[in-house]
Amino acid sequence: MANILIAGCGDLGSDLASELVSQGHHVTGIRRTQSVFPHGVEGITGDLLEMDDSMLPEADVVFLIMTPNGRNEVAYRAAYFDTAQVLVRRYKNTDQPPTVFFVSSTSVYGQSQGEWIDESTPAQPSSVTAEVLLDTERLLASAFASVAVRCSGIYGAGRFRLLETVLSGKAWEANSWTNRIHRDDVVSALVLLAHCALSKKTLPAHVIVTDQTPVSMWEVKLWLATCLGANVAVSNGEGFVPTSGKRIQGQYLFSQGWRLRYPSYVAGYHGLLDAFRALKK
């Protein structure tokens, strides 16, 4: 049994916590608000930035899974870099520092001309928020055996933004490449990484979590519009071939036996569409 801390026990963190508890681990979860935690999880409610070090338990593995309050540099720095500093302060000088997994984003790859990206591709952030993510990755790597878990666009239960956009009839933006991963597959990837760490496997500095199926955004929207009976809101002057974005694939997780439950957006969106239709009735 291992002691595992999940700093950010929200949507992803809660399912990760439940899975790890079912496997016999002692799991502590921290969430900013609400005091309800999954069964078997020792819960701490409060802002990590305001916690005394004594509130953070001994841990063999730590997951940092934060959500910023906005999409700007200040919000990102508070959610990611500043919380990482708390972990560094608490755990860096312990007898056996934990392995830290930071749920980051493939936005650290700023390439946007249709390039193929994999784990050997250098990160080239092109936005201030992506710079903060990369700064956080570097901070943790300087203090711990850490892994940046770079996820492509996460979708899944309760995440209806794209469906709402398609249904609204709002004109589609210029076509681009898009990369996705279902939230359930993110959870299974994190569980696998925990097993790797606890088995003392040598871990890479970063891994990519994506469904291996980069597609054009218009292809996704066209399929969703057909399923929803929505209008195809494309101007005649636009071309179907993507003019921007990147195409992402990862290798490490598959080399460790990871298997996708949802290997494409078509597989992943069926359940989401059913829930969305039920909500709209």
- C-alpha atoms less than 13 angstroms from C-alpha of 41 in its C-beta half-sphere: 27
Collapsed DSSP state (helix, strand, coil) of residue 121: coil
Query: In the predicted model, is pLDDT for residue 27 greater than 70?
Result: yes
Q: Are strands 180-182 and 153-155 parallel, antiparallel or unpaired?
A: parallel
Smallest Cα–Cα separation from 55: which of 64, 45, 63? 45
pTM here is: 0.95
Query: In the predicted model, is pLDDT for residue 237 greater than 80?
Result: no
> Amino acid identity of 167?
L
pLDDT for position 107: 97
Mean pLDDT value across the chain: 95
Q: Which residue has the tokens 């899975």?
A: 19
* Confidence tier at 274 by pLDDT (50, 70, 90): very high
Query: In the predicted model, is pLDDT for residue 238 greater than 70?
Result: no
Domains, the chain = 3-155+182-212+246-261 (3.40.50.720)
pLDDT for position 169: 87
Query: Cα 125 to the chain's mean position, in Å?
Result: 17
pLDDT digits (tens, 9 = 90+) for 72-87: 999 999 999 999 999 9
Whether 17 contacts 27, CB under 8 Å: yes
Query: Cα 61 to the chain's mean position, in Å?
Result: 17
pLDDT digits (tens, 9 = 90+) for 2-14: 999 999 999 999 9
* Confidence tier at 47 by pLDDT (50, 70, 90): very high
Query: In the predicted model, is pLDDT for residue 235 greater than 80?
Result: no
Smallest Cα–Cα separation from 115: which of 177, 173, 174, 175? 177
φ, ψ for residue 226, nearest 5 deg: -65, -45
Lowest mean pLDDT across 100-104, 129-133, 272-276: 272-276
When pLDDT is averaged across residues 40-53 and rounded to a whole number, the result is 95
* Residue 280 or 14, more confident: 14
When pLDDT is averaged across residues 105-119 and rounded to a whole number, the result is 97
Burial 60-89, CB ≥16 within 10 A → b, else e = bbbbbbbebeeeeeeebbbbbbebbebbbe
Q: What tokens does 146 get?
A: 């850490």
φ, ψ for residue 76, nearest 5 deg: -65, -40
* Confidence tier at 34 by pLDDT (50, 70, 90): confident
pLDDT digits (tens, 9 = 90+) for 136-167: 999 999 999 999 999 999 999 899 999 999 99
* Confidence tier at 254 by pLDDT (50, 70, 90): very high
Q: Is the dihedral of CA 269, 239, 121, 136 positive or negative?
A: negative
